[in-house]
Amino acid sequence: FKKRLSHKFEKIDFDEPNELRASVVLEQLMKAADVAALLQGFGNIKKWSSRLWVELKTSHVAGRGDDPTPNWYDGQIVFLDCYALPLAKRLADTGVFPKDIELLFEENVKNNRSIWLDDGEEITDKLINDWETGQSNGA
């Protein structure tokens, strides 16, 4: 079986147009666009994560959705581990980016996770405090 399988892959020319491959690449790009801040530097993740928290908190207060407060810090770690990091790896696997860019996506997610582990509780506490004192501006 292994011999037959490897024989089939020898015939694949990854430079030839392939609709399925194009669809998979586009799907990964659309997913990346949705969470682009997570694939960039920490300043962007902090900005957009804070704005999302304010949006979710505002919705909760209006009776729409759960309060993001209790799980925000841990939830960000889980999201980076279970969604952003695998997505960064899949983007690299598409082969459509130069090698240095492919590596940058995964490196950024890992760096963002590390910084969040160090600073995320303080950031979350500030979001909550700003909300409670009416000073939150979403940035």
pLDDT value of residue 26? 87
Answer yes or no: are the C-beta atoms of 89 and 110 closer than 8 Å: no
The C-alpha angle 45, 50, 52, rounded to 5 degrees, equals: 95
> Rounded to 10 degrees, what is the CA torsion of 34, 37, 38, 43?
-160
Is the Cβ–Cβ distance between 28 and 91 less than 8 Å? yes
Whose CA is closest to 108, among 25, 27, 28, 43?
A: 43
Q: What is the pLDDT of residue 100?
A: 84
pLDDT for residue 2: 46
What is residue 131's predicted lDDT score, i.e. its pLDDT? Answer: 95
Spans of the chain below 70 pLDDT? 1-17, 135-139
pLDDT of 77 reads 97
Q: What is the pLDDT of residue 22?
A: 82
Distance CA(58)–CA(52), nearest Å, equals 10
